[in-house]
Structure 1
Amino acid sequence: MKEEFLHYLWKFGRFENTNLYTTRGERLQIFSVGVHNHNSGPDFFNAKISLDDQLWAGNVEIHLRSSDWYAHHHQKDKAYDNVILHVVWEDDIAIFRSDNSIIPTLELKNRVEEHLLSNYEWLFKKGKSFINCEKQIVNTDKFILESWKERLYIERLEQKSAFIMQELEDTHNDWEAVLFRMLLKNFGLKINGQAFYQMSAIIDFNIVRKLQHKVFSLEALLFGVAGFLEKEEDIDDDYRTSLKKEYHYIKRKFNSLYELSSGPVFFRLRPVNFPTIRLSQFAGLYHKHRNLFSEILRCNTTDDFFELFRVSASVYWKDHYTFGKESASSDKKLSKEFISLLIINTVIPLKFCYAKSMGKEENDTFLKLIASLKAEKNSITNRFDRLHLESASAKDSQAFIQLYDEYCSKNRCLSCNIGNTILNRSAN
């Protein structure tokens, strides 16, 4: 048993709470369990109880055994002097505050229903191949599952908002600059996302604004900072030579630029995802749209965004994937699948954060938009598929990713609506 389970029992009152008495025989009534504290200090703040009809307000500390109080050295910490009740599974020793006054103790081990204990033990039993509830999750009530997936998706957006707010601070509240950073990162996908993000930190967006009128200059800027123009001097390629000359001119003009020490890679990537192609497409996007963030705000449907992001790599890349090596000719435009990823990972989080900053509540709008996109396919969603929880849309796939990353992989079943449902199932 983990202490987290006792937090759950106390927080939700999942124990027999009639005729309560402390281990010293004091009659106990609980008026408020307090506010759950996830940081240092007592586990619950501002609880309200009565002991033998004497009202008390203060904090509650929870342990598996009373002696854990001393094991954690709380008797030496004045932050615990305001503890009015010690809630434990097993009372094995009397506990005193730093002033030697005794702390009332509530023992729970004989006050929890047997089916709740057995469900808890099953849920956290070792031997699961994917997630703790993999054998029962498919039986979750549909309404509970769907409402929880919506909450998970909004929770995911909230988490991404924290990153966006930091970017806003770094760019002095320049939404266009934040979009540039987020888009460039997500153009790199998983393999080159971090390298592309590092590039966005090197390139002041004001430089992009001044070069947007010429796609060739944007390509030179991006390829130069990526380090693709300074290496492999044996490549005999006129276009690369011209880009290098243009980059050196830009670098002299804007003396804040420098190249990545460890640039984007090609290994394990399909040619269509090579960083050369993605950077050229990115340059084309910013050449086509001078105020991209403003245009994104005006878009409301997937068709709007598919049209907005309808760009291709420049002419040189029509028959190249890398510098100096020709390939079969093809128009290397952004696919709908790739644009969908941009909408999921960049557009919606940014619009969500912007709406919040303007004091607007538009969750339904974003839920409708994400539900109109096809589900992502990755190792996590594939595992949920095998549990007969197929993702009908990107809303589902994003929710399942959030579920796995923030709950399943961290064993936070007691904070999960699905885990709670399983925990509370009766023996029948």
Structure 2
Amino acid sequence: MLITEDLLHYVWKFRLFNRMGLRTTDGEEIEVFSAGMAHTDGGPDFQNARIRIGETTWAGNVELHVSSADWNRHGHQTDGAYGSVILHVVYKDDQPVIMPDGRKVPTLELYNRIPDELYQRYHYLIFSNQAFIPCEATLKTVDDITMRNWLTRVLVERLEKKSTAVIEALAVNRGDWEETFYRLLAANFGFKVNALPFEMMAKSLPQIILAKHKNYPLQIEALIFGQAGFLEDDFVDEYPRKLKEEYNFLRKKHKLTPVEKHLWKFLRMRPQNFPTIRLAQFAALVINSNHLFSKILEVKDVAQLRDLFANAKVHPYWDTHFRFDVESKSSPKNMGASAVDILLLNTVAVTLFTYGKHLQKQYYISRALALLEYLPGEKNNITDDFVTFGVKSTTAFDSQALLELKNSYCNYKKCLQCAVGNKVLKLS
């Protein structure tokens, strides 16, 4: 058998070994009352185990290795953290473990105690070459409750990872949630291609400056386009000429330095996604909802939250333009439903979750999850493949959880740390 330490952890945690006639390698009788709590940081693998060895019941830590010799190979003999180990659990005992004080650590050998069927299931998951995920052949045997509970867990893990960037940004902005949300929103407005210049523009134009001009839409548009570097040219059309005139005054007033225009990318993009259109939409949203994050915290209905973005009206000039001074066929330029949903997914849901977690307010965490359940699921190769194997993906809650499951668990074959993998091992 090819035994891994992960498998030993799994077998010990769930006590899936033959427990009849357990004895240490020195012949003392063993009874396991509690396997302890798995410990992933430095130190012994399981803490607070409760085990009877001989006539004495011990409470302490348990260390696991494939072979006893790993104790010394890993340097535990000189590490004081392992002085409280009450039992050494190994697959194969090939070397006694002696502590510096001369005490021999009691050892339990699991050789020939792990069921062959369990090992075969594990070997199939970890070492077979499946095209998509390790458990694809047996995934349909997993019940809906197990799948749903686990997807909820991994979705929260995904949001917690994303919240790290929000907290870092919050620290940079000295605890200002409005400014933090404004900058994160701007970066996501640029999507992947123009995320960096959008973020740079927002950093160069603090939200507090825009708030001072909340009653003057033209000035807000001038500030945004000007700071983006698009008002340096000489224009023919009246609208950009007015923007430039306003911006030249405001630039001096607020001592602003614009972003370099060349940073923005137009190449191989649909005109509807040109940075000029995205900037116009961003300006419309700022005009429509000053102190946007405060409004998001107040709006309880998810449909109203979506309307907050969808109802932001872009300046009429852009109905017939994709660039300044270049007229085009008339077409609406307000944000489409898919663009709104992407912003709600990547910015609003993540920030709401982080806000609730940071302030320990479950209400906002629940609102973030409810928003993801409301939004339609993303379509990509990963979600499509999961659907093929019987896992639904109808909402953003589903698709985001499936992405995390695939990228953080399946790709690394962490089947023993996955509730779905655990279920497959028991059902197969």
Q: What is the CA distance between 1:21 and its match in structure 2?
A: 1.3
Answer whether contact 1:375 1:393 (CA < 8 A) is retained: yes
Equivalent residue runs for 1:50-129 within 5 Å: 50-129=52-131
Write the distance in 1 (CA, Å) between the matches of 2:161 and 2:129: 31
- Aligned pair in 2 of structure 1 residues 295, 417: CA closer, same or farther (>3 Å)? same
Instruction: Tell me the residue number matched to 2:305.
Output: 305
Instruction: Tell me the residue number matched to 1:134.
Output: 136
Q: What is the CA distance between 1:198 and its match in structure 2?
A: 4.3
Instruction: Tell me the residue number matched to 2:34.
Output: 32
Identity %: 39
Instruction: Tell me the residue number matched to 2:280.
Output: 280
Q: Match of 1:330, as an amino acid? A: S
Instruction: Tell me the residue number matched to 1:189.
Output: 191
Instruction: Tell me the residue number matched to 2:334.
Output: 333
Q: How many residues align?
A: 424
Write the distance in 2 (CA, Å) between the matches of 1:33 and 1:165: 37
Equivalent residue runs for 1:15-26 within 5 Å: 15-26=17-28
Instruction: Tell me the residue number matched to 2:379.
Output: 377
Q: What is the CA distance between 1:367 and its match in structure 2?
A: 4.2
Answer whether contact 1:187 1:282 (CA < 8 A) is retained: yes
Write the distance in 1 (CA, Å) between the matches of 2:247 and 2:99: 69
Q: Deviations over 1:325-380 (max 9, x none)?
A: 33322120111111122222222333334344263346665544432321111232
SS of alignment partner, residue 329 of structure 1:
coil
- Aligned pair in 2 of structure 1 residues 10, 351: CA closer, same or farther (>3 Å)? same
Q: Match of 1:325, as an amino acid? A: V
TM, length-normalised to structure 2: 0.88
Write the distance in 2 (CA, Å) between the matches of 1:99 and 1:276: 73
Q: What is the CA distance between 1:401 and its match in structure 2?
A: 1.4
Write the distance in 2 (CA, Å) between the matches of 1:409 and 1:226: 40
Write the distance in 1 (CA, Å) between the matches of 2:12 and 2:363: 33
Instruction: Tell me the residue number matched to 1:354.
Output: 355
Q: Match of 1:171, as an amino acid? A: N
Write the distance in 2 (CA, Å) between the matches of 1:22 and 1:127: 38
Answer whether contact 2:49 2:60 (CA < 8 A) is retained: yes
Of 407, 411, 415, the match for 1:413: 415
- Aligned pair in 2 of structure 1 residues 74, 252: CA closer, same or farther (>3 Å)? farther
Answer whether contact 2:66 2:90 (CA < 8 A) is retained: yes
Q: Match of 1:110, as an amino acid? A: N
SS of alignment partner, residue 223 of structure 2:
helix
Write the distance in 2 (CA, Å) between the matches of 1:50 and 1:27: 8
- Aligned pair in 2 of structure 1 residues 286, 143: CA closer, same or farther (>3 Å)? same
Range 152-161 or range 112-121, more displaced: 152-161
Instruction: Tell me the residue number matched to 1:344.
Output: 345
Q: Match of 1:103, as an amino acid? A: V
TM, length-normalised to structure 1: 0.88
Write the distance in 1 (CA, Å) between the matches of 2:356 and 2:272: 34
Answer whether contact 2:214 2:220 (CA < 8 A) is retained: yes
- Aligned pair in 2 of structure 1 residues 314, 100: CA closer, same or farther (>3 Å)? farther
Q: Deviations over 1:248-280 (max 9, x none)?
A: 544443347553698343344332222221121
Write the distance in 2 (CA, Å) between the matches of 1:46 and 1:396: 36
For the aligned residue pairs, the C-alpha RMSD in angstroms reads: 2.8
SS of alignment partner, residue 189 of structure 1:
coil
Instruction: Tell me the residue number matched to 1:212.
Output: 214
